[in-house]
Amino acid sequence: MAYPNVGGVTRWQRSAVALLCMALFTPLAWANVDQGLLEKAEALLKASQYEEAYALLEPWEVAGAGDPVYDYLLGTAALESNRPSKASFVYERILAVTPDYIGVRADMGRAYLALGDYGRARIEFESVLSIQNLPPDLRSAVEQYAKAAEARAKNKRTVASAYAEVGVGADSNIGSATALTQVNLPSVGLYVPAPPTGQKTQDNYSTLGLGGEINHQLTDQWGLYAGADYRGRAYQQFADSDYATLDGSLGLSYTGGSWLLRGGLAAGQYVLNRSRLRDTLGATLDWRMALNSRSQFSLGASYGDAKYQLPIYSSQDTQTTTLSAGWLTSLGDGSAVFSLTGAYGMERAVGGRDDGDRRFYGPRLTLQKSFAEKLGAYASLGAMYSRYAGTNSLYLVSREESLYDISLGMSMTVGKGLSVRPQFSATRNTSNAELYTYDKNDFSVNIRLDY
């Protein structure tokens, strides 16, 4: 019988951890067992054909026992084919010779978790978490396992997490507005933008973020999740530009071996200057799959219906559909992770704005690097190209715009669950209607508590 999917840890996460662990460590020499057999077994594991891999390896145990390559492949096949007792026996054989083999430590914890030995499972997971230079994805997954072991020990199938974040920063263009002091509009003549929202204006700010998520396992495959996030920004001089967002989500997840599917409803509210400006209601669907020992692939779709609450803005109501695809892979020794995503969508102008519908598309590149146990960094570069179907009433042309952004950040852990996060972002939007061309820089330092 398959071992239970507990405490918010999914089958997809189990497969992803195994693949990441295999990618993290220097490959060992092939065992004395036939090399072709081992290569075939490894290929079967990467293809999530665990029963076939176990059936191929198990008859050779007398000859291969004691060799770390054979033992690791056999242990992984046993664990993923729901033979945790056999897996723990094989992993003990490896750790007796190589006690610092972190990948086996993580998998040993998974085996103990499946066997119901939650105390020893937590010990193994905490041993892995004490190691420096773990990639963020692996550390996050193992932290979930540790929480699951603790929850299972208390006979819980529900795991909750939350965060609180405060910060200060400086924004060079709080209204994302033009830097021009006057603009010649073909339809009306000379126009003089007014700060802070009509003309580029700088201000300092403070931020507050609160959020959390609850995951509950209904069965081995099915799970339920719910989450909420609040983000607020208060400016030092221009309080009329203060804003806040409140977002919530509720949905189901389903795991099928090496893949995970999540889908649900999403709702949001945008508040400007303490007045409710816009409500959003929509749905999301996300599918992720581990391709091999280093890579993951994802597909996503979302729909959002945005309605403005004040009649004077009702023409800006939109309905947006977005499709996305992504690829993630670990680099080098596994302490760096690279991802590439692409998005394409349609924003329907259901409120009747004169610019009409908008088609948009663009890529995003992200690189995360762990330098030490308590120090990590990331860089992200993105572009978004937009084409409007209608004729802009000010410029008497159809708008075409290109938006580029770059973000750089660091995370320094200073205590249990407590981190300091400086970050910088730069954005530039270019348009054939110059009133909509702008640039902005944003720098902030945030303190975050995860618990």
Q: What is the pLDDT of residue 156?
A: 62
Q: What is the pLDDT of residue 375?
A: 85
Q: What percent of the chain lies above the pLDDT cut of 90?
A: 47
pLDDT digits (tens, 9 = 90+) for 79-130: 888 888 888 888 888 887 777 677 788 888 888 888 877 777 877 787 777 7
| More confident of the two residues 379 and 63 | 379
293: pLDDT confidence band, cut at 50, 70 and 90? Answer: low
Among 46-60, 149-163, 344-358, 430-444, the minimum mean pLDDT is found in: 149-163
Q: What is the pLDDT of residue 132?
A: 63
- Extract the runs of DSSP E, i.e. beta strands, from 145-202: 158-171, 183-185, 189-191
The span from the CA of 244 to the CA of 354, in Å, is: 28
Question: Residue 28 corresponds to which amino acid?
Answer: L
Structure tokens at 402: 């290109």
CA distances 232 to 167, 243, 271, 343, 346, Å, are: 10, 6, 9, 27, 28
Q: What are phi and psi of 416, to 5 degrees?
A: -60, 110
Q: What is the pLDDT of residue 1?
A: 34
Instruction: Give, for 259, the enclosing helix (H) or strand (E).
Output: strand 259-272
The span from the CA of 320 to the CA of 217, in Å, is: 31
CA distances 382 to 49, 173, 422, Å, are: 36, 19, 20
Over residues 402-410, the mean pLDDT reads: 97
Domains of the chain in sequence order: 11-156 (1.25.40.10), 160-450 (2.40.160.60)
Structure tokens at 90: 């094989």
Question: Does residue 437 surpass a pLDDT of 90?
Answer: yes
| Nearby residues of 256 by Cβ (< 8 Å), 6 or more positions away | 11, 12, 221
Q: What is the pLDDT of residue 373?
A: 67
For every residue of 190-248, DSSP letters joined together read EE---TTTSB---EEEEEEEEEEEEEEESSSSEEEEEEEEEEEEEESS-GGG-EEEEEE
In the block, tokens 């990441």 appear at 20
The span from the CA of 150 to the CA of 8, in Å, is: 12
Q: What is the pLDDT of residue 99?
A: 73
For the chain, what is the mean pLDDT? Answer: 85
135: pLDDT confidence band, cut at 50, 70 and 90? Answer: low
Q: What is the pLDDT of residue 390?
A: 95
Q: What is the pLDDT of residue 111?
A: 85
Q: What are phi and psi of 377, to 5 degrees?
A: -150, 165
The span from the CA of 145 to the CA of 399, in Å, is: 49
pLDDT digits (tens, 9 = 90+) for 148-160: 776 666 666 777 8
pLDDT digits (tens, 9 = 90+) for 199-222: 999 999 999 999 999 888 787 678
Q: What is the pLDDT of residue 27?
A: 43
Q: What is the largest CA-CA distance in the chain?
A: 88
Over residues 333-343, the mean pLDDT reads: 85
Structure tokens at 252: 């189901």
* pTM for the whole structure: 0.69
Over residues 271-281, the mean pLDDT reads: 96
Partners of 444 in beta bridges:
169, 423
Partners of 199 in beta bridges:
178
| More confident of the two residues 317 and 374 | 317
> Do 155 and 181 form a contact (C-beta atoms < 8 A)?
no
Over residues 237-259, the mean pLDDT reads: 91
| More confident of the two residues 391 and 106 | 391
Q: What is the pLDDT of residue 154?
A: 61
Ramachandran region, residue 27 (left: φ > 0; alpha: ψ -120 to 50; beta: rest): beta
The span from the CA of 286 to the CA of 152, in Å, is: 27
Structure tokens at 70: 């054979």
Q: What is the pLDDT of residue 141?
A: 75
Question: Does residue 145 surpass a pLDDT of 70?
Answer: yes
Q: How far is CA 195 from the centre of its chain?
A: 36
| More confident of the two residues 378 and 113 | 378
